Structure 1
């Protein structure tokens, strides 16, 4: 019976040692990278990857990879050729997933059509040609509430137009007038536009780099201008 007892004790000791070893490894990676690479002193997470000796470094939603000692660092896509998966892309998709019920609607204005029961959120720039096409198609959708987040990412003129629309008495009408009828509201955009800055920060955090970007109530995120039929299909899910 003694060998068995010894074996159990050894297994218990190993189980305790593994987390300690992992912690020490992470500490070494953090220390070495912080000392050697400017800007890598604020690593949010270190994760061991399926590939032996490889570790993921996460800074906010930015992904890097390094070896066990932090001697080498690279930025790019890690592919699992056996499973035919892009591990980097899957990880970023998970990190940048948007939960619909956590959207800060105070930074948006809502356009209600029909009973407004179905909901969707849209991130758009007033100078985006694809957004204008999308908005014209969106006029065909009924019984929906559209929460519109302005993100002026296409230059200084986009900021001016976004301010004018946000400062209008009826933001929804001002938006549709501009996007569908090319008519801007007559104001100088001199109201509190903190919401626009908050939206730009949100877009940066969740990697919304193009417009339109649509988020449906089930959390599905669709980049680019989809047509009315596709919107109806997504709303029906």
Structure 2
């Protein structure tokens, strides 16, 4: 009996070893297939959007469809690299938007990477809320928003400004944005300029063009464009009290 037991034990050991080899072989094969799929997706993106390198490529909720993030832009590409879908993906049963939350987080990350050293900021760091506003000195609703800047701050809302002169580089609005940035007191110059009063025209190294490029990348089409801390975009002027109620409502959800 003992001999038979030993034989069975050896056979079991052989089977276990064989199963392990098979498992490792399957794992290696799967890893190779995954790598090949990612390569096909990368090649497909490269053909359609030359010079763009994906920040991430992950499987989506749809079999055979991959999510490709390039900065704050989200694309869906088939696993064979032949088809690209540029739009939102919804789960029909729940009607859940699966795309927007990911895009918003990517936008928030892009704004964070711009750095607060490249923004004109009103309000203390320990404010309850922080919003980032792409603004145009000559935009009427931008001026209306800034006329309430003290109310925003008093309601616990910190406002970070980035410049977005809609008339483009070289315009009067662009010159004013540069002058505000280069002023000895940026916040005072911003307030004066937005109230329609002249400020000294100045030149210096500035991030205004970078602000404009970032705004375009984030989908800014008008000003003021307000981004919340999670990347949600609120286009247009929002009164301070209404903004506070909205932000506090989100916090309490």
User: Taking structure 2 as the reference length, what is the TM-score of the superposition?
Assistant: 0.72
SS in 2 for 1:123: strand
SS in 1 for 2:33: helix
Equivalent residue, structure 2, for 1:151: 164
Q: Aligned pairs, how many?
A: 229
**Residue 173 of structure 1, CA deviation:** 2.0
Cα deviations across residues 17-48 of structure 1 (Å, max 9, x unaligned)? 222210011113333554xx353453413322
CA distance in 2, matches of 1:38, 1:90: 25
Asked if structure 2 preserves the Cα contact closer than 8 Å seen for 1:174 and 1:184, the reply is no
Summarize the alignment of residues 22-101 of structure 1 with structure 2, pairs less than 5 Å apart. Answer: 22-32=34-44, 34=46, 37-40=47-50, 42-44=52-54, 45-98=56-109
CA distance in 1, matches of 2:65, 2:233: 32
Q: Compared with structure 1, are the counterparts of its residues 221 and 176 closer, same or farther at alpha carbon in structure 2 (3 Å cutoff)? A: farther
SS in 1 for 2:99: helix
Question: Any gaps of 5 or more consecutive residues in structure 2?
Answer: 1-11
Cα deviations across residues 175-212 of structure 1 (Å, max 9, x unaligned)? 22232x32131x33x41142212322333444444433
User: Taking structure 1 as the reference length, what is the TM-score of the superposition?
Assistant: 0.76
1:164 has 2:179 as partner: yes
1:199 has 2:217 as partner: no
Structure number having the greater helix percentage: 2
Per mean C-alpha deviation after superposition, the further-off stretch among 58-67 and 123-132 is 58-67
SS in 2 for 1:77: coil
RMSD across aligned positions (CA): 3.3
Say which one has the larger Rg.
2
Q: Compared with structure 1, are the counterparts of its residues 128 and 213 closer, same or farther at alpha carbon in structure 2 (3 Å cutoff)? A: same
SS in 2 for 1:95: helix
CA distance in 2, matches of 1:142, 1:71: 51
Question: Any gaps of 5 or more consecutive residues in structure 1?
Answer: none
SS in 1 for 2:242: helix
